[in-house]
Structure formats: C-alpha cells, structure tokens
A and B are shown apart, each in its own frame.
Chain A
Amino acid sequence: MEKVCTVCPYCGTGCGMELSVENGRIIEVKGDKAHPVNQGELCLKGYYGYQHVADNRRLTTPLIKRDGHFVPVGWDEALDYVAKRLTEIKAQHGPDSFALFSSARANNEDNYAAQKFTRAVIGTNNIDHCARLCHASTVSGLGTTLGSGSMTNSIPEIGTHSDVILIIGSNTAECHPLIARQVVNAQARGAKVIVIDPRGTDMANKADIFINPKVGYNIPVINAMINVIISEKLHKPDFIAQHTTGFDDMARAVEDYTPENIELMTGIPAQQLVEAARLFANAKAAAILYAMGITQFTHGTANVMALSNLAVITGQIGRPGAGICPLRGQNNVQGSCDLGALPNSYPAYLRVTDEKVATHFEQAWQAKLSRNVGLRVTQVPAAIEENKLKALFVFGENPLMSDPDSDELRHELEHLELVIVMDLFMTETARRADVVLPSTGWAEKDGTFTNTERRVQRVRKAVEPPEGAREDWWTFGEIAKRMGYDGMSYNSAEDIWNEVRRIVPATYGGISYARLDHEPGLCWPCPDENHPGTPILHQGGLFATPTQKAELRPVLFDPDILPKEKGIVYERPMLGCIAEHTDTEYPFLLTTGRRVYHYHTGTMTRKSPVLHQLAPEERIELNPADAKELGVRDGDFIRVETRRGYIVARSMVTDRVQPHTIFGTFHYWEACCNELTSAGPLDPEAGIPEYKISAAKVSKSSPAEAAAWHKKISDICKIDLQYVGTRSQAYA
C-alpha cells in the first residue's frame, strides 16, 4: 500500500490529507497530522469524497456531437476539430467572440494555461470563472480599500491568537468545517464569538452574541457597530491618522446608524449592537470571518467595504489573529484568481489595461495581447444575446447549475456556434456541448492549489487517470500548437509553475516545487527562496494600496431604493439596496447556500456514495409557522416559484430560518435553486448577482406533481435515468 500526501479537493480550507492507494485505487483518506490547518482532522467530504475518482461514469474519450448525438472520437480528431473551429470563428468574428470559463477546481497550472491560451492564442481577455459568483465582491472591495482582495491572516491564527471572532454571512461549520474547528479551539481558550446571520446556523448556536437580521441587512448592522465604536471613542485615532484616508466622510456616513435607529429598522435589539461593537473594538485581536452572506448581493462590494471600515478603524488588522478573513469557497478559487483567470488581470492581479504590464507579458509570451478588459461570467448571457459571442470553452465548471437563472442560460447556450466542455463527468453543461473533452482529476495529476489563506500547496498524483483522460494544461497546449502557437508545449506541471515564478517573481518567485516538498505550503507573496512567505498581510499598518494607506469609504443602505441623494454629499460613496422585494404575489424570501454533505453542483460528491447516501435529495428549509399555514409537514413536497421558474422539492421544517424565508441549495439537478435565482441586476463593481435574495411563492405540492416535475427537469437536463451508470451508456 502506497501513501500519497496531497490537498483536499473540496473547500478553500485546503486541508492536508494522506491517500492510501492499493492496486491503483484510493482505498482510504486520512488527515495529515503535520498540516498546520487541519492537524490530522478532516470533515466528511475529506474522508469520503474521494470515491468519485474511480467512478465508472468518468469520461474516457473525447466526444463530438453529430446530429444531436455524441460520437466518441480520438484525441487527434477532437483537437484538430476544436483548433479548426476556433480558428474559423476567430477569423470570422474576431478574438472577442470567444470566452473561456476557467476552473476554481483545477490547479494553478491549469488555470495559468487556460488564461495564457485565451490571451496569447485567441487574443482576448474574455476569461473569468466562478469567483465572479462568490468572492468577486471581496476582490473588488478589499482590493480597493486594503490593496489586496484576499484573506489577511492564516487559518491557524484563528485558533491560537484571535480573542474575538466575528462571523458574518458565513455558515462556517457546514461550508468550512475545519475552520469552524479553529473557532471551537479559540472558544476553548476563552475567545468570544459574535455571529451575525439571518439563519440559525451551528455557529449561531456557538455564539456569545447572535445577531439575527433579515437577509440583506448587513450594512445597517455593521454601520451601527461602527457608530457605537466612534461615539464611545473605541476606535484607534492614531492608527487612523497614520494609516488611513477618508475617516471623516466614513464617520459622517454612519451618524444616522445609531443602534436605536437600526432597532427600529431591523428589530435587532439596540443593546445587542452596542455589546457586539464594544466586544469587537476592545478585543486584543479580533478576526472577521465572512463569506457569501456578505458578497452575494447587488451591493456585495459595499458590504465588504463596510467590514473593511470596521476592521481598520479599530486597528483589528495586520497582527496575529487580527484581520479580515473572506472564506473562499473552492479548493483553488484563490489560485485561479491569483493566476489571472479574471477578465481584467494577468497573473498576480496585474492589470490588462496597464501598458507596461501588457508589454511585459507580450515579451514573455511572444504574442500580441489585448488591452481591453474582457467579459465577466455574468456578462456572457447578454453578450450571446447581442450576438457578440460565438464560442464558449468551459472547463471544470458546471454553469448550468451554478450560475443564476439556469433557464435563461440554457436558452443562451443554444445560440452559440461552438460550446466546448472539459470535465471529469458528463455534467449538465457538458450534455449541451458540441465537444466534450475528458480531463484528469485532482488525485491523478501534479500541481498546486492555493487555499483561502493564500497558502500555495502541492497536489500530488496518487493514481493513474482513466484511459483517455488528459491533463487540462496538456489539452490547452495541444490546441494552441494546432492554432500555430508554440509557447505552451510544457512537459510537466512543474514546467508551468516555473514559468509562473519567472513571470511574476514578486508573488511566487520563492515558491518552488522543491520547497513545497519540505514545507506545508507557503503563503504568497514569497519573492525569493529564502523568504518565509507572508501569512499576515498589512503588518504595521502598511497596506498594499498605492499610498500604503487603507481607504475608508462611506457606505449607505436603504432597503427600498439606492440612497443616491444621501450619497451626493460624499466623494465615491458605496450604496446598497435590495434588488428584488417580496410582495403579495411572491411573499417569501428565498435565500441559497450549501450543505455540509455536498459540494456545489454535486459533480463529485453525488458520485461519492457515502456522501450521497447521507444526503440524497434537496430539502428546502421552511419555518414551522409557515409550514403550519401551508399545511406542510416536515418532508412533504413543496413547490417554490419565482419570476424565473419553479422547482418541486421536499421541505425541511425548521426554525433555523425566519418566518417567510426559505433556504435551498444548488447541489441537486433535480431541484436546483438556480432555476429560481436572478441573473440581474448585478453589483456594479463586482458583477456578482444577488443569489441571496429572490422573491418566491411557496405552496404545498404532492408526490404526483413532484413526479411530473422530475420528468420535466430530467428532460431539460437531458438526463436519461436509464442510462446513468455504465461507461458506454453514459454517452448515449
């Protein structure tokens, strides 16, 4: 039996794990005891989420759709075909008629190859990935105020140093269980926990102060805390004077947000806000943990900046255990952003619009590069509608389930001339592709992942991929070669990584594969081989902004309409409102998220039988008062409808959700809440949609209606239940 040390392929926590391999198959997974983040522990996805690797539904041959059916073809034929079609489309419609969705599941090397292919071979910046749908607001928010849109501290510090932990809009226990463990460890040391969440999550059960606002009311709560801090003089005037700009405007903007006013607006007891503010400001080291409950709003950037204001004025940043921790969703979503799978930046966030930067990359890559910012994921449907986009390349992503308003996206995809999907399985998106390319998974290739704390870690090959599957970077290189570009003929992942290190040395220069073999990952920036990495950003109040000062911004909120008039007196105010309100026709507020058992669209976890057995179907959370009124018992089918569409799923009657609020996930194609979410309006800076709020109507359903719905959605997703199973039939 062989043991292979690698990194968990699920959430952004990036736990180290040890795979036991026997006869070419993974037979067991254990936590890596020496790993600083998880210290030998794993959650159930880590332990049992490996089983999809050997699943017999894995794609094993390239497929080209002919007359509506997939036909298995050889790699040469598939690559020739893709190269020919892309060359034709580029010649006919220009390079900007191509877009690529990169993958936060794939490793850094694959992402680097994908963006290089898009930029150097096609000649467009139309590359983006699902970070647009999760932490785009963090990248735009913290990127502006602090100069770096990433977690400021390392995960172990939460357990060892933080004495107050503010968790807002993060269901940490379910979505980042091994970070929740650090919170539990901190509590055992005597640390206090404040949780601000519309749902009664497990972290709320653990909290010393639990503030339970309505969905969308983040800014009033944060501003009220800032109001208390300033009026009670708990802020740090020296730190503010030395290291920040914009305090006066910001302070003026929160004047109206007294705890009493916010109690009137939200029903949250004023005393609770006062206590939370005092606890946070007086902490020796306070950490803010946040996730989608902050970012997935049309005012996501404003939410993030409000948090940034809170941390900065109290000086709770740049020290061990004190900082802002956006908890990134996917194993490598940090890495795919860092490596330039974004429409406005090259690797290491160098701007595509910067002439000097562009020239640097042109010389390095020996290609002519576009200076125009490309399309975001959320702009792609409109670009197709406007006939601007002709070809879409999707790898390691399943947008038909993960992007908002599935029905619209399905409709738009049909207008494209060429859709290429590269994945492990025949996903819901792949079924609608023209070309499907099989790829190798996390356990079958070498590379690096970057977790949420910016720790670049080695991912190691443990088993052979299924015959016919190829590494993503190899496929991009082969298509490039066929399109006349020789700069992507790599021999190994390490080859690619060394190119990354050469090209952006300030960030990655010191992170070599050789070093990663001895060290449990290194947090970027790490410019040279003797540099220890940078677990804590902004130390000593030196921020990464051009002025080295943190920017404080006025943030204003009105639930009904953007408070433009109030904002007029400020320079660059951030404004927030709720885009879609409940009304008499759609009286329920639908909010979405994840559950601990599954990962996103379930492509991997639903093919891992242990996980699937524990949570085989969608359950929509419904408050007991509403359940009673609707005559619904726990487990009964309910029908949920929004302006975009409807689903039928089983209910979970629980007071974890507030009255007139329901909660569902996007794990199950049979009842995916993204059939219901809205693809617009978007956050003006981040381009993120408002996943967290949709107005919905809910009614009691029946097994008969559920069966009819199941048939309908099976047809829509082109899933023939008879053919889910064996390798050859899966292609039918």
Chain B
Amino acid sequence: MNRFTITNPANCIGCHTCEAACAVAHLDAAEASSFQQDSFRPRLKVIFGREITSTTQCRHCDNAPCVIACPTKALTHVGDTVQFVGERCFGCKTCVIACPYGAINLVNHKVMKPVPDSISARSVQPIAFKCDLCVDRANGPACVEACPTQAIRLTTSASADEMLSATRERATHNPAT
C-alpha cells in the first residue's frame, strides 16, 4: 500500500501553516535567501468553503490515474509513493485532467538550457507539480509536522493496520456506533 497524507476536516482550522511549511521545505538554500514567487510554491492547498475547511493534496494512489495517463513516465511509482520526474515532463497536462483530487498543478519551470535560435526555445515552460511526501526529509512530511491541530496525518501501511484494528475493537465493544 502506498503512503499518503490525509486531512481530517474536523481538526483543520484553515490556518495555512501547512502551505507555508510545504513551500519552505522544498526551497533549496539559494532560493530560500531570495524567495522569488517562482520558487515559492505549496504543493497542497487549503480549501476554505462555506461548509468545510480542509486541504487537498496528492493521495499517492496505488492505481494512480496520473501514472497511467502520463505518456513519458514522468509520473511513476517509486517505492510506496508516486513521484514526479521533471526532466521527463513535456507539459502535456493529461495528469492534471486525470487526477480526481485536483492535486496536480501546472507551474512555470525554468528550462536550464533552451536550444539556441530555436523557435520553441522558451526559457520557461509549464510542467506538472505535486506532493512528493517529503521523501528526502528526515522528519517526514513538513505539513504533518507543522499542522498545529494534527489535522494532517501520514497514513502508512502499518498505521492503516493499527487504525483498522482499533476501529474493529471499538465496533465490537460498542456495536451501535
């Protein structure tokens, strides 16, 4: 089973701390000092509606529509996550349409070496962009760590099992609920 983060709307107060933490966690040292709008991008989004407050982010689906849709394998399964490899993306946007959660954004990406004198040589092109579960971060997903109300939690195969047995336990003792 893939790992994923999910937000409990009962706890989410819409404070946007997760967005800030996400954007900061993905800045490299040079970007962190300059803070250009281009590099400062949260990968999850707080949804603040009239009835509910929550966040949307990548669910790292096991049978992921984005992975199936991607013609260049820019979106692939890596271990128990779905990851995005920027170099392979050519901006076809199929994944954006395929994702049922709206978790994939298109963002402007600076192309390092545009082909000189080519008519298609734009220095900036849109590519897909999504949650990477902070796989390289020692403390796990930054949003989970920062959330002041523990609304966002990381679900792993082990924690799902734990939750299931707790639910079964509760249901056995108290069938009415």
Contact = CB atoms under 8 A, between A and B. Distances in A.
Interface in B42-58: 42, 48-53
A597 B14 CA distance: 11
Interface string B120-134: 000000000000000
A297 interface: no
Q: Most chain-A CB neighbours within 10 Å: which of B23, B35, B53, B149?
A: B149
A181 B52 contact: no
Interface string A654-695: 111000000000000000000000000000000000000000
A187 interface: yes
Contacts, number: 88
A184 B19 contact: no
B51 A47 contact: no
A205 interface: yes
Contact of A47 (B21, B49, B50, B53): B21
Contacts of B52: 205
Contacts of A188: 10-11
Contacts of B20: 44, 47-48, 610-611, 614
A263 interface: no
Given A205-B51, A205-B52, A613-B35, A42 B17 contact: yes
B40 A613 contact: yes
B140 interface: no
A197 to B, nearest CB: 12
A200 B15 CA distance: 15
A534 to B, nearest CB: 27
A446 interface: no
B48 A202 contact: yes
Q: Most chain-B CB neighbours within 10 Å: which of A31, A42, A184, A597?
A: A184
A596 interface: yes
Interface in B102-155: 146, 148-149
Given A42-B148, A202-B48, A205-B53, A610 B24 contact: yes
A556 interface: no
B22 to A, nearest CB: 11
B48 A48 contact: no
B15 A596 contact: yes
A184 B148 CA distance: 11
Contact of A43 (B40, B42, B51, B148): B148
A168 B40 CA distance: 36
Contacts of A596: 14-16
Nearest to B54: A205
B13 interface: yes
B14 A181 contact: no
Contact of B16 (A44, A203, A616, A655): A44
Interface in A6-38: 31, 38
A178 B146 CA distance: 13
Interface residues of B, number: 26
A174 B23 CA distance: 20
Nearest to B17: A44
B149 A181 contact: yes
B175 to A, nearest CB: 20
B146 A47 contact: yes
A48 B24 contact: yes
B145 to A, nearest CB: 10
Nearest to A182: B149
A173 interface: yes
Interface string A504-536: 000000000000000000000000000000000
B174 interface: no
A618 to B, nearest CB: 16
B37 interface: yes
Contact of A184 (B23, B51, B149): B149
Contacts of B19: 44, 614
Nearest to B21: A47
A9 B17 CA distance: 17
A503 interface: no
A713 interface: no
A180 B12 CA distance: 10
A622 B20 CA distance: 26
A206 interface: yes
A523 B35 CA distance: 40
A499 interface: no
Q: Most chain-A CB neighbours within 10 Å: which of B9, B24, B37?
A: B24
A634 interface: no
Contacts of B17: 42-44, 47, 177
A177 B148 contact: yes
Given A610-B24, A613-B37, A656-B50, A184 B11 contact: yes
Contacts of B49: 205
Given A178-B148, A205-B51, A613 B23 contact: yes
Contacts of A613: 23, 35, 37, 40
Contact of B13 (A184, A616, A654): A184
A11 to B, nearest CB: 12
Given A181-B149, A610-B24, A613-B23, A202 B37 contact: no
A253 to B, nearest CB: 35
A597 B48 CA distance: 14
A609 interface: yes
Nearest to B40: A613
Contact of B15 (A48, A174, A187): A174
Interface string A406-423: 000000000000000000
A184 B9 CA distance: 11
Contacts of A187: 10
Nearest to A173: B13
A275 B112 CA distance: 63
A206 B50 contact: no
A41 interface: yes
Given A48-B20, A200-B50, A181 B13 contact: yes
A310 B76 CA distance: 60
- Which 7 pairs of residues, A with B, have the shortest CB-CB distance? A41-B148, A609-B35, A173-B13, A44-B17, A44-B20, A177-B15, A613-B40
Given A38-B148, A656-B50, 4 more contacts: A43-B15, A177-B15, A184-B149, A655-B50
24 contacts: A31-B148, A42-B17, A44-B19, A47-B146, A173-B13, A173-B14, A181-B148, A187-B10, A188-B10, A202-B13, A202-B14, A205-B49, A205-B51, A206-B53, A596-B14, A609-B35, A609-B40, A610-B20, A610-B23, A610-B24, A613-B35, A614-B20, A654-B50, A655-B50
Interface of A: 31, 38, 41-44, 47-48, 173-174, 177-178, 180-181, 184, 187-188, 200, 202-203, 205-206, 596-597, 609-611, 613-614, 616, 654-656
